[in-house]
Chain A
Amino acid sequence: MIRLEDYGWKFDGSERWTLDGVTLEIAPGECVLLAGPSGAGKSTLLLALAALLKGRHGGASSGRLYLAKTDITDASPQAVAGIVALVQQNPDANFATLSVQDEVAFALENQCLERDAIVASVDRSLRWLGLESLRTRQLSTLSEGQKQRVALAAALACEPKILILDEPTASLDPDSIGEVLQALERLIENEDMTVIIAEQRLHEFAALKPRVVVLDGGKVAGDSPWSLVPAEIREPFRLDVDPAEPPTDPDERNAPRMTAQALRVERGDARVLDDVSVEVGQGEVVGLMGPNGSGKSTLLLALMGLIPIQSGKVVMGETDVRAGAPYNLGREAGLVFQNPDHQLFADSVRAEALFAAENFGCAGPTVDDKATALLEQAGLSERVEDHPYRLSYGQKRRLNIVASVLHDIKLLLLDEPFIGQDRQNAAWLIATVKRLALSGIGVLMVVHDPHLAQACCDRIVFLKSGRVLMAEPLPQAWNRLAELDYGAYLPASWRQHDAARSD
């Protein structure tokens, strides 16, 4: 079905080949997981398969790329459209219309099908993905999991032979991941479709029993069936915590870095947070979990005084947040947003690291030395003169964190810092969070992956529909979540333990 013969791609302005001599064959009906670190060329390979490189991104190719027996190395996107369907990481990036039914019908309308045929195909696609009840809904009103399923339905409407997914679970909560996986299982079993998925979290796809192709540095570094994939690639991320490192003692958290009491936040007509109380102690790492849309990101914004609080109180150190301006609260607390590109403001990596410190009037030799040390820890010491936009996604995330902590903050708020991060970057993030906590900084982080929460959090606060459902230290939090029937939010080892206990 797909054959790459020594295929390579080099973007204009880049010194290296992003894909370099890739030789690969994928048979009809196969399910292939593309794995590998950030920058390995996974997304570029997906774009090449959808013929979205040539003519859209400046660059040069080498080798040949075949779809069935047709050479599509230099083909236009329209030449493979309808045969190869691509679903990008962010579902919003896929949508061209405003409602579910219009989005699913979009490709069919472009193919100039008659109305009856379009309606029949839309019905079938919505049924496949269990979306019939959402047919007339506006896309902007859907949850992330629902959006991802609509993007799948829209891609499947014209019955492609090959479905390509770029990190489909990256920003989904465990329930939504389950929905998407069920849909994929049905497709592979019933439709004999070739499915190619680029992913970091391979363990989520174990049920599909995929073939795993590992890319590294643009080359194929491994290719094996699921059963032969090495455990360190296949299994959930775990961090070997240094046993010499003392766990945070709850009794030492008597100096809370931040206390929020009975917060109520409304946005438009909707009550997003209701009676939410959270506390983060000195040196404590608190994981904020919960389904998509439960109010986690809104809580971080409210804690930083960036959105109005209707009632309740937030105290940061000794400052009442409702009485302080956000630019002053920034001296006490750093907030790292989800997308690294939204928080890069300076013209060089070093200037970016020092940006907040200079704005707060803390710049000087001591901060300079600290910046040098932190940039070295982040593996950025050789990139200090580069423009931040030239860094990889993982490097940008590291720079965001360095830039947020340089001016001696007391509290660090992180909004889904692990999205799109490979194992190496995730390990750096976890180690950094733990190091910051040891220095006394309180950390509150939004996290979906229970394995990552397990690796770095002392306590879990679980939000559901804007209310605190549970706030417990680990490992009691996993037991409590199991009792509350939130098994999907448990690490794999606890899920097995929970299942065994139920039996």
Chain B
Amino acid sequence: MMRLAPTRSILHRLHPWVKMTWLVGATTAAVVYSSALAAVVLVAALLLVLVLAGTPPWRLPGRRLCLLLAVALLAINTAIYQRGYGDLDPSPAEGLRHGLLAAARIIAVILASRLFVATTDPTNLGQGLIALGLPYRWAYALITALRLEPLFSQQTRIVYWAQLTRGVRYDSGPLLRRWLMLRRLLLPLIASSLRAAADMSGAMENRCFGLYKQRTSARPIRFRIGDALAMASGLAFLIVLGVVV
């Protein structure tokens, strides 16, 4: 779930372009670099930045699943190389390297996304995208989707609970019956989602949304020298990491 962290660090104040660049850069580096050490250093750097942003990794949502996935990748790779597989000769050290690389890659991608989400105000992100040439209606499609997402999640839970209390079981019974029950789950959700979207668009139009081709902002964002330096530092770190490690 996309949630802005409640704290306000220096990272929160950076222009969204900076964090978009970091996100794309870190994801690309995680995928492209083939050195396990580089991937591990990248993870360490991201963890440090997360702590600086006031969102320590031990409080991140989905941290257990992320850790479990990493451990599983490490274990699978180690096990495969331990015994050898097909044309691969047994090599525990190589298994460990591949395992670390795979685990660090997946963790790096997840942490980079989390960092972006936790430090970027969606309204600022919308403005950043508008500044890149995206029509404001599209940017607001993103912002309103983020507004509605927790609402829809909550409605899904309520419909599911309402079904449970009326004897619906998704954990047993013939598969076909369970598929039919899923239809019953979707129907009230679709109905209430359409209503919520219609109510929101009505409320937006009633407040002049779409009246003009442009709109102004009460909190305009500016790309300052500090943003340029932060963007350059992040990219430089990633390049050095690739070259040196």
Chain A residues engaging chain B, CB cutoff 8 angstroms: 47, 50, 52, 56, 77-78, 80-82, 84-86, 88, 90, 92-99, 101-102, 105-115, 118-119, 122, 138, 140, 154-155, 158, 301, 304, 306, 326-327, 329-331, 333-335, 337, 339, 341-346, 355-356, 358-360, 389, 403-404
Contacts and interface: CB of A to CB of B under 8 A. Distances in A.
Nearest to B140: A96
A98 to B, nearest CB: 6
A112 B214 contact: yes
Contacts of B140: 96
Interface string B144-178: 10110011000100110111111111000000000
Contact of B187 (A107, A113, A326, A345): A345
Given A138-B4, A344-B188, A345-B187, A115 B164 contact: no
Given A94-B203, A96-B143, A109-B217, A356 B167 contact: yes
Given A95-B147, A112-B212, A330 B167 contact: yes
19 contacts: A77-B202, A85-B207, A90-B199, A102-B123, A107-B207, A108-B218, A109-B216, A109-B217, A110-B208, A111-B212, A112-B216, A118-B216, A304-B161, A326-B164, A341-B195, A346-B184, A359-B168, A359-B169, A360-B167
Q: What secondary structure prevails in chain B residues at the interface with A?
A: helix
Contacts of B159: 342-343
Contacts of B86: none
A341 B206 contact: no
Nearest to B191: A341
B236 to A, nearest CB: 33
Given A96-B143, A102-B219, A50 B167 contact: no
A331 B146 CA distance: 38
Contacts of B198: 56
B192 interface: yes
B68 interface: no
Contacts of B199: 88, 90, 93-94
B208 A356 contact: no
B211 A78 contact: yes
Most buried by B among A78, A119, A329: A78
A155 B161 CA distance: 35
B163 to A, nearest CB: 7
Nearest to B192: A341
Contact of B184 (A86, A102, A345, A358): A345
Interface in B54-111: none
B133 interface: no
Contacts of A155: 207
Contacts of B191: 341, 389
A154 to B, nearest CB: 7
A102 B202 CA distance: 18
Given A96-B144, A98-B122, A109-B216, A88 B164 contact: no
A84 B188 CA distance: 32
B210 interface: yes
Interface of B: 4, 6, 121-123, 140, 143-144, 146-147, 150-151, 155, 158-159, 161-169, 184, 187-188, 191-192, 195-196, 198-212, 214-220
Given A330-B166, A342-B192, A93 B203 contact: yes
B206 A84 contact: yes
Contacts of A404: 166
Contacts of B123: 97-99, 102
A107 B165 contact: no
Given A98-B123, A345-B187, A93 B167 contact: no
A78 B165 contact: no
A290 B61 CA distance: 31
Nearest to A101: B218
B166 A355 contact: yes
A75 B121 CA distance: 36
A342 B188 contact: yes
A50 B158 CA distance: 32
A337 B161 contact: yes
A337 B4 CA distance: 30
A343 B188 contact: yes
Contacts of B208: 78, 81-82, 107, 110-111, 158
B206 A77 contact: yes
Nearest to A404: B166
Contacts of A88: 199, 202-203
Contact of A50 (B4, B166, B206, B217): B206
A93 B205 CA distance: 13
A80 B143 CA distance: 25
A114 B164 CA distance: 53
Contacts of A334: 165
Contacts of A82: 208
Nearest to B205: A77
A304 B192 CA distance: 24
A334 B164 CA distance: 11
A90 B159 CA distance: 19
B212 A327 contact: no
Contact of A85 (B158, B163, B206): B206
Contact of B150 (A111, A140, A331, A341): A140
